[in-house]
Structure 1
Amino acid sequence: MQSDWPTATLGELTINLDTKRRPVKEADRRSGPYPYYGASGIVDHVDGFLFEGEHLLIAEDGENLRTRNTPVAFRATGRFWVNNHAHIVKGNGLARTRFLEYAVLAADLTPYLTGAVMPKLTQGNLNKIELPCPPLKAQDAVIGVLGSLDDRIALLRQTNATLESIAQALFKSWFIDFDPVRAKAEGREPEGMDAATAALFPAGFEESALGPIPKGWEVRSLDSFASYLNGLALQKYPPESEDEYLPVIKIAQLRAGHTVAADRASARLKPEYIVRDGDVLFSWSGSLEVEFWCGGDGALNQHLFKVTSDEVPKWFYYLATRHFLPGFREIAAHKATTMGHIQRKHLTEARIALPPTPVLHEAGRAGASLVERRIANSLQARQLAELRDALLPRLISGKLRLPEAEREIEEALA
């Protein structure tokens, strides 16, 4: 990376604390409040800590050093534990730790990697990474610009986590535990809803294959009211050209939430195999996840379901599928294969009490609002991340000064 500022090696700018790392086997970990970090972030929470304060973690090994689907450098703050898959450093008097995070993220690490099969960044090569080293005042200015964007992204993600928790709690209360029906059956007013909404719920139960369910409701399987479309083996659908293609959405992209460095496939797939923002995706093998996709248009790869429905609203089939996710993960974990998975029969066996349409559409307004806000926040976070990523290399190199960067942010967010 060419820079208008003086440069120095990472070893000259940091204090290295690798000797204090200590891995703990999963079987030996005791659950606790402290994050346990690996090469790509938090992998667990444990009952002790090795480090305290602000530090920079840089991946030591793993394919992500090449693909960079997730950040290869990230700060850890507070009290935490680090295993031996992440280098741990902090800035010395010449560099701020947060500036170093951005500098490493902007750097090309390829020349410093070893290992033909599994990439590795040794401590010796880590120390050789050449980075821009402007005066501390300039570093603080860069941190101010990029940090404000990162802080806004973090706030949106925290808000989404809260919205998700509220939506799941509401879904469980109304459609799994039947709290409004129980309240009316006991002569009480249902909590957290107005009289018109409460009137949509019955005041009693009837027996079913699931046990007692609200009167007038119907036991249905997931795949009876929603469609679970499996993706394609997209290596059979190559891109038309360098300019005409769709990024391939695999499990890795679903987990990362973007298609950076993704494979490419034909842009002329049938419409149902094209993923759009706001679509519900369900990875049914490997790492089982159910998420709203907000990473732009892409091609649906095998091992992913795109979930849709002509019968029930999006918020309902999303939350219903998520409700069964822990059970699906348990099934996958016990598969005697290298990659655990579920089968379509498990969608049929996953049954729920489906309310009449008026309940779904009227009582579900709250659920729909929560889901719409969550999708909107995710799209805004993506916009901010794209802006940050565009500004980062120019700010770090000194080729873009603070006033120009602030103008670009104002224009992008106007």
Structure 2
Amino acid sequence: MQSYLTTIAAALGAAAIALVVVEVIHRVVRRLGRRSLLMTELTDHAHRSFQLAATVLAVQLAVRFSTGYAVGTGWRQVVLHTLVLALVAAVAWLVASLLVVIEDTALARFRVDVPNNRHARRVRTQVVLLRRLTIAMIVVLAVGVMLMTFPAVRGIGAGVLTSAGVVGVVAALAAQSLLGNVFAGLQLAFSDAVRLDDVVVVEGEWGRIEELTLSYVVVQIWDDRRLILPTSYFTSKPFQNWTRTEAAVLGTAEFDLDWSIPVQAMREELRRLVESTELWDGRVCVLQVTDATGGMIKVRALVSAADAGSLWDLRCLVREHLVGWVRDHRPTALPRLRTELGDASGTLPWQWVQPRRPVRRLADPEMPDDARVFGGSDDGDARSEAFVGPEEHAESRR
């Protein structure tokens, strides 16, 4: 009984001393590291794990040196073995906390709340995935070390090694899908195909990459739904990434109108509209007739915006405004199916009449800039160059 009381008192005293020492170190580090991000992260994330590891280590040393080998051998071995398991778990937690501190400190250098954040989002994606992988490895190693402390596990090691080949094949077949997703996640992180906060279109849904793990990807759809896909989806199926190189994108609004629509007047109205809204980034404003079949023409307005959200609002604004403009100012250009009765001398607006004078068509050099997608501006010229093959480049240089 005296041995038991001595051991308990020694353990409590060692735990109290460890807690006091850790608290003193914690306060000193916090005071010295007020201007250091690394010290602040250490005090915030590694304090509890360091406290637990130091306390378990102190209790183990107290139990080991306060009891003799001849006294209470059975319970002493059980207590010491339990403390070893607790120490392994606490050290694993401490190591994981230190890795998280280092990764958070590294991530603080890369801001994602700035307009040009493509590089920062790529680094953040890679670091987050590496964090998950390292924590998983630490947990596996800790569990392995804890199992190796049992003599029975070490005794059957030879038998496990002899059957490792068969077990490995079975495990590989059983975990084929899981391992495929893990490798797909690593491939996504380091191939830069998709990053956190990228705007993508998958399965017909438009959204933002909200979370990217080793096994699945969470896409936040524009209406706040969540689309959860395995990481292997992004390595095996095509998808659209609107922010692969930059956030600025182009969008269209199409209209089916009658042949009598004055295209140039509609083009000027589109230009006046986009120049009056902050949604337009000033790059592209083009209106073209893209089709003329079935008794109607298809007019397409092509505009640009700084990001996908602004583009959506800008397309809706263009569609709403031009629909109202056609209805109020050019009602005869509304789409209709006509049946004309009478002769060519009719004067009604929907009947064909011979023009009073020949309509002057703009020659190609006079084509306005907002009527050309591939040319007419610096952005249009750059877009035209991107679709010219190497032979055509060489001929143009000659």
Q: TM-score, normalised by structure 2?
A: 0.20
In terms of fraction of residues, the more strand-rich structure is 1
Q: TM-score, normalised by structure 1?
A: 0.19
- Structure ID, larger Rg: 2
